[in-house]
Homo-oligomer: A and B are copies of this chain.
Amino acid sequence: MEKLKGWIKSIRDSKGLRFFAVTDGIKDHQLTVKEGTPIEGLPKVGASFIAEGEHSTTPKGQPEFLVSKLDIVGASDDDFPIQPKAHSDEFFRSVPELRGKAKKFQAIWKIRHQQTQAIHRILDHFGFIQYYTPIITHADCEGAGESFSVKSDWLDEKLTVSGQLHGEVGMSSLGKIYTFGPTFRAEKSTTRKHLSEFWMIEPEIAFCDLFEAMDVAEDLVKRVLRSVEAKSEYEFKQLGIDDKHTKIADIDWPRIKYDDICEKFGIKWGEDISSDMEQTIVKSYGAPVFITHYPKDLKPFYMKKDDKHALCFDLIFPEVGEIIGGSQREEDYEKLKEQMQSAKLDMDKMQWYLVTRKWGTVPHSGFGLGFDRLLMYITKAQKIHDVIPFPISY
């Protein structure tokens, strides 16, 4: 005698048998109930149940659970919104409290979990230490975007837009660190690729130049793609995704300088590259592309810069755009001070950051990986709001 617990997703009658498509939260099952089987309560789509019986196989060779007793634990009724029919993503976004009951979102939450696990496992394997940076902060990560203010009767600060500056403190003691936490942008999201609350992974590496940082970034993302693919076969089937992400993990990702991009794609030097143009570039190379060495004035104060360029890179992905931005950091005390002053930072408040270059400074580089953007690519979600459990304020 075995037990199966879960929720009913659909009901079908055929020749004296009732078939329930159910989920236990992780996997889907078929309950097969013969006429006369004791049933407590009224089985309806959406109801929760505990079934006693045995795992078996249908005449057609499909797995089934032959029920000897069925208890309905939590009732449902015909008003239950997630009936077994097609719903629009837009409808689902309006009911976060229920959309996890749909196979599509169950699959996405599970893949989200596997992506998280993969990142922690891979970075740990390569000797990175997870370093916890503050969420409430007054650090000014110029260029990252507008920040939310946080207040209480004794505090007046901001929500972090990036853990990088604090992460550099961790790097200066542990050598190789990564942050894994929520970051915030106060611009109201008007695109399908932006959230005001999203998660970033920000590795920071001592004794590491721009090119080595790109090696780390490329290797990390490729390993994550392969790991998620290997662990989530079931979920990709649930999503109806057949093609292998690992295809792009098996090719080299070109690294092209901004100046060369300008020449090839007719962009005026000094201008930023639009999202549409990024997709044109990615398509023309048939692979994710690192765009490197942007004009220095387009990039924030903490980057190492030469006369014209910043030692930086963006990793542009098909469909979802930039999933990583990174750079070599300015490690020279005087040069950094100058760049901070030019950016009009509050030097008193940011003294702790400058001090990381005062004693034992090292050449170092790092990058920020947008967790939700990568997941959007992996799950082929149309909007980034579909890869987070709560896309509206709850």
Contacts and interface: CB of A to CB of B under 8 A. Distances in A.
A199 B157 CA distance: 19
B26 A174 contact: yes
A216 to B, nearest CB: 15
A256 interface: no
A188 B98 CA distance: 37
Given A148-B151, A359-B80, A206 B25 contact: yes
Contacts of A139: 394
Interface string A162-197: 000010011011111000011010101000000011
A198 to B, nearest CB: 10
- Using C-beta atoms within 8 Å of the partner chain, give the interface range for chain A: 35 or more
Contact of A46 (B79, B188, B360): B360
Interface stretch (A104-112, A238-246, A273-281): A104-112
A193 B365 CA distance: 35
Given A47-B359, A174-B110, A390-B134, A116 B105 contact: no
Interface stretch (A13-21, A294-302, A335-343, A350-358): A350-358
Total copies of this chain within the assembly: 2
A32 interface: no
Contacts of A331: 74
Interface stretch (A53-61, A124-132, A222-230): A124-132
A362 B73 contact: yes
A359 B76 contact: yes
Nearest to A352: B97
Contact of A138 (B80, B186, B188, B393): B393
Nearest to A152: B186
Contacts of A136: 148, 159, 184, 196-197, 393
